[in-house]
Structure 1
Amino acid sequence: MFSNEVISTFNELEFSLYNYVTNNIDKVVYMRIRDLAKETHVSTSTILRFCRKLNCEGFSEFKVKLKLLLDKDERTSLRRSQDSLLEFMERTLKGNLDSYITEAAEVISHSDSVIFIGIGSSGILAEYGARYFSSLEKFSLYIKDPHFPITTNYLHNSTTIALSVSGENRFTITHIHQLKQEGSKIISITNSQHCTVAKISDINIPYYVTEEKYHTSNITTQIPVVYILESIARKVNKLTKRK
């Protein structure tokens, strides 16, 4: 309703009106136009002009759209974290996750270094993964800058662990292509094996949990990723000590 394009057209009075409305939606949906004008110290004509900019023919239609927006927000509910955890654990027990983890650990144990890549929340987990692997004596670093230049010799005999919930982030895909060209083996951890990142990886570890969004943010649980990363790191440590 309040798109960036529309907001950019507001004048000073309309901005004042916008700020009041967004902070008092639950009150405005029950107000008369004269009440809103009094509360915001603007004229009714300013309010009507504000409504037209939002593609509403009048104040009544504006309140209807505002009520729909309010109802949508109230219906938005978050899954309990334990539901996501139970979902992941159930699928882990039924699936072959351990075999994927073992395969990935075998590859990493023969590599001189591990490079973690990811954007957004996956970038934060990439940093965590690099720290965790390094703590278990496997030299690792992370890249979460989408424009990081990948042209150096430290990629010799390296393994890249790419993290992506959707597996469709264009920066992560670009990094994978660059790293593959430099000879790095690619292991990806994604929420599905039917995505671009999974398809261009040497090994893909899918964890399959229900994707969850809150407004425009993807808040799909990252618990499976932490579990997978820590499991791989511990197995790599054991394999390395046997050599």
Structure 2
Amino acid sequence: MFSSEIIASFNDLETSIYNYICQNSEKVAYMRIRELADATHVSTATILRFCRKLNCEGYSEFKAKLKMELKKNKKTSIKSSQHAMLEFFERTLNTDRDQQITEAAKLILQADNVIFIGNGSSGILAEYGARYFSGLGKFSTHIKDFSYPIHSKLRQNSVTIALSVSGENPFTLSQLNQLKQEGSKVISITNNKLSTLAKISDINISYYITEEFFQETNITTQVPVVFIIESIAREIHQL
């Protein structure tokens, strides 16, 4: 509703109105125009000009948009960690994930180089995965910066382990496509086996947790990813 371009266009009076709305948005959504004018010490004409800058024909449309914004940003109910884990492990018991983990471990065991890639929270887990693998004797590297140059020696006889909840992250897909074209085998860990990332992988291990969002941020639990990474590393160690 308040884009950076619109905020930059505000004069001093309009900025004071904007600041008041930000601090009292729940109350403003139900105020009459005269009440808002009195609270911000401006005229009703100034309020109307402010509304027009927000692409609203009048004060009523402004209040309607503000209510919609408040409803969209209202705190959503977040599942307990126990609920998410039960959902994962119940589905794990009914899949061939153990076989997939063994196949992934065998593929990694034959590789000279193991590269973890991911973006955002998946990038943090890529770093953790590389450290965990290295700790159990299979030296690995991780890439979070997708402009980072990869030496040709690292790409020879390599396995790339790509992490992505959606399996549609454009940065991860771009980096993976380059590595795949240069001969790297691909193991992906995603939330959905029908995603683009899963489809272009040699092995995909999916975990099917209900995705959760809070104010447009994906907060889907990453514990299943940690479980799968550690399971593969331990299987490599056993082999």
Using the TM superposition, give the Cα deviation of residue 151 of structure 1 relative to its aligned residue in structure 2, in angstroms: 4.3
Find the residue that maps to 1:186 and give its secondary structure. strand
The equivalent of 2:54 in structure 1 is: 54
Structure 2 unaligned regions, length at least 5: none
Q: Are the aligned partners of 1:150 and 1:179 in contact in 2 as well (CA < 8 Å)? A: no
Structure 1 unaligned regions, length at least 5: none
Using the TM superposition, give the Cα deviation of residue 88 of structure 1 relative to its aligned residue in structure 2, in angstroms: 0.8
The equivalent of 2:187 in structure 1 is: 187
Matches of 2:11 and 2:150 in 1, distance apart?
46
Offset from partner CA, 1:131-185 (integer Å, 9 cap, x none): 1111111101100112122342122222110001111111111111211233221
Matches of 1:71 and 1:184 in 2, distance apart?
46
Q: Are the aligned partners of 2:156 and 2:183 in contact in 1 as well (CA < 8 Å)? A: yes
The equivalent of 2:81 in structure 1 is: 81
Matches of 2:40 and 2:146 in 1, distance apart?
44
- The letter of the residue matching 1:167 is G
Using the TM superposition, give the Cα deviation of residue 56 of structure 1 relative to its aligned residue in structure 2, in angstroms: 2.2
The equivalent of 1:174 in structure 2 is: 174
After the TM superposition, which segments of 4 or more aligned residues of structure 1 sit over 4 Å from their partners?
Answer: none
Matches of 1:98 and 1:227 in 2, distance apart?
12
Query: Matched residue pairs, number?
Result: 239
User: For 1:48-127, what aligned pairs fall within 5 Å after superposition?
Assistant: 48-74=48-74, 76-127=76-127
Matches of 1:236 and 1:210 in 2, distance apart?
29
Matches of 2:133 and 2:185 in 1, distance apart?
17
| TM-score (norm: length of structure 2) | 0.92
What RMSD, in angstroms, separates the aligned Cα atoms of the two structures? Answer: 1.8
Q: Are the aligned partners of 2:75 and 2:214 in contact in 1 as well (CA < 8 Å)? A: no
- The alpha-carbon distance between structure 1 residues 12 and 143, as it changes in their structure 2 partners (threshold 3 A), is farther
| TM-score (norm: length of structure 1) | 0.90
Using the TM superposition, give the Cα deviation of residue 102 of structure 1 relative to its aligned residue in structure 2, in angstroms: 0.8
- The letter of the residue matching 1:88 is F
Matches of 2:134 and 2:13 in 1, distance apart?
56
Q: Are the aligned partners of 1:193 and 1:205 in contact in 2 as well (CA < 8 Å)? A: yes
